């Protein structure tokens, strides 16, 4: 028994008395004798250390404590009933618990997840996001989409895609700053995506070592925020064409110098080796692989 938890039969008896208004009616409702009702109520009162009813002749009147207690445990009984109904009605439904790096979940996965669910209506999805990798098997997650993390020894992984980290900006920003050549980078504000596997100094060292970067600029701890800042015209961002795919396709962001960047492997799908034949994981891996291949074939 949970420490401090009264016997369930006492709580049910108490609720029945509160609902019916008398020991006799509660006894009839529970198919026990009135003396059994009285005994269980006294047992509960002893455990709580205070009376719950004022007894006068053949009537019982609940105290203020009893009224408050009945409201509290009534909520608990309602939750139990809802959870029971949900579990009973969910027989045959599979649940896929996903964990993902936050920006990939927001920018790429969420806009396409509806397609997966329409193809697999028997699978319900739980999606959580966080920078720290999930402890697969320990915290309930079956799949983790990780960004720039080593693959655990007991896991298999799938590289999602090669992605290119390159400068991106809104068309309005380019027009207002007349950003036409790589040399122009030194005069514009930069947006720093501080978790990106490629930073501005690395990109400059490879593609424009003669350019001195603007020391001013905003910093963000996730790609989504950095891309939204670029979308709002706050500067030139260095980010992934995978994460920015939908924004590029809609021409909300553009590549001012073309696809000039650094290609990396950063996003991996990870699952426990012992779960490789799990049907939910197999379905998700097959769908994700096909969706990424389809995205790569689009202009």
SS3 sequence of the chain? CCCCCCCHHHHHHHHHHHHHCCHHHHHHHHCCCHHHHHHHHHHHHHHHCCCCEEEECCEEEECHHHHHHHHHHHHHHHHHHHHHHHHHHCCCCEEEEEEECHHHHHHHHHHHHHHHHHHCCCEEEEEEECCCCCCCCCCCCCEEEEECCCCCCCEEEEECCEEEEEEEECHHHHHHHCCCCHHHHHHCCEEEECCCCCCHHHHHHHHCCCCCCCCCEEEECCHHHHHHHHHCCCCEEEEECCCCHHHHHCCCCECCCCCCCEEEECEEEEEEHHHCCCHHHHHHHHHHHHHHHHHHHCC
Residue 237 burial (10 A CB sphere; 0-12, 13-18, 19+): buried
Average pLDDT for 271-289: 94
pLDDT digits (tens, 9 = 90+) for 49-89: 999 998 887 788 999 998 999 888 887 877 777 667 656 65
From the options 3.30.70.100, 3.50.50.60, 1.10.10.10, 3.40.30.10, give the CATH code of 8-89: 1.10.10.10
Checking if the pLDDT of 195 tops 60, the result is yes
CATH 3.40.190.10 fits 94-159+266-297, yes or no: yes
**Weakest mean pLDDT among 97-106, 135-144, 248-257, 276-285:** 135-144
Supply the mean pLDDT for the chain. 90
Which residue is listed with tokens 């008395």? 17
Which residue is listed with tokens 């003669």? 210
How far is 12 from 60, CA to CA, in rounded Å? 17
Q: Tokens in use for 54?
A: 């004022």
Q: In CATH, which superfamily holds the domain spanning 163-264? A: Periplasmic binding protein-like II (3.40.190.10)
Q: Which of these, 125, 122, 126, 127, lies nearest to 93 by C-alpha position?
A: 122
Q: Report yes or no on whether pTM surpasses 0.75.
A: no
How far is 279 from 292, CA to CA, in rounded Å? 20
Checking if the pLDDT of 167 tops 90, the result is yes
Please check whether the two domains, 94-159+266-297 and 163-264, share a CATH topology.
yes
Checking if the pLDDT of 259 tops 80, the result is yes
Checking if the pLDDT of 298 tops 80, the result is no
Residue 155's beta-bridge partner residues? 272
The values of phi and psi at residue 74, to 5°, are -65, -40
Checking if the pLDDT of 117 tops 90, the result is yes
Q: Tokens in use for 229?
A: 């800042």
Extents of the domains making up the chain: 8-89, 94-159+266-297, 163-264
Which residue is listed with tokens 């016997």? 7
Q: Which of these, 138, 166, 165, 177, lies nearest to 154 by C-alpha position?
A: 138
């Amino acid at each position: 028994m949970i420490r401090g938890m009264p016997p369930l039969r006492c709580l049910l008896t108490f609720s029945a008395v509160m609902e019916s208004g008398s020991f006799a009616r509660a006894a009839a409702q529970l198919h026990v004798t009135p003396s059994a009702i009285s005994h269980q109520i006294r047992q509960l009162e002893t455990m709580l250390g205070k009376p719950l009813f004022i007894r006068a002749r053949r009537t019982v009147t609940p105290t203020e404590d009893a009224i408050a207690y009945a409201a509290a445990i009534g909520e608990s009984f309602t939750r139990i009933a809802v959870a029971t109904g949900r579990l009973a009605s969910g027989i045959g439904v599979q649940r896929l618990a996903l964990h993902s790096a936050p920006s990939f979940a927001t920018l790429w996965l969420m806009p396409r997840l509806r397609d997966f669910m329409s193809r697999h209506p028997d699978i319900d999805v739980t999606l959580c996001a966080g920078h720290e990798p999930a402890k697969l098997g320990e915290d309930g997650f079956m799949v983790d989409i990780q960004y720039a993390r080593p693959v655990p020894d007991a896991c298999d992984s799938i590289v999602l895609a090669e992605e290119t980290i390159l400068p991106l900006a809104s068309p309005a920003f380019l027009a207002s700053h007349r950003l036409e050549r790589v040399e122009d980078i030194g005069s514009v504000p930069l947006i720093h995506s501080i978790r990106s596997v490629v930073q501005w100094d690395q990109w400059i060292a490879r593609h424009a070592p003669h350019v001195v970067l603007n020391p001013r600029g905003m910093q963000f701890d996730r790609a989504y925020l950095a891309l939204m800042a670029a979308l709002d015209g706050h500067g030139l961002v260095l980010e992934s064409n995978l994460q920015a795919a939908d924004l590029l396709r809609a021409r909300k962001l553009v590549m001012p110098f073309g696809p000039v960047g650094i290609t990396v492997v950063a996003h991996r799908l990870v699952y426990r080796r012992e779960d490789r034949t799990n049907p939910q994981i197999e379905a998700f891996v097959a769908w994700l692989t096909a969706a990424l291949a389809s995205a790569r074939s689009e202009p």
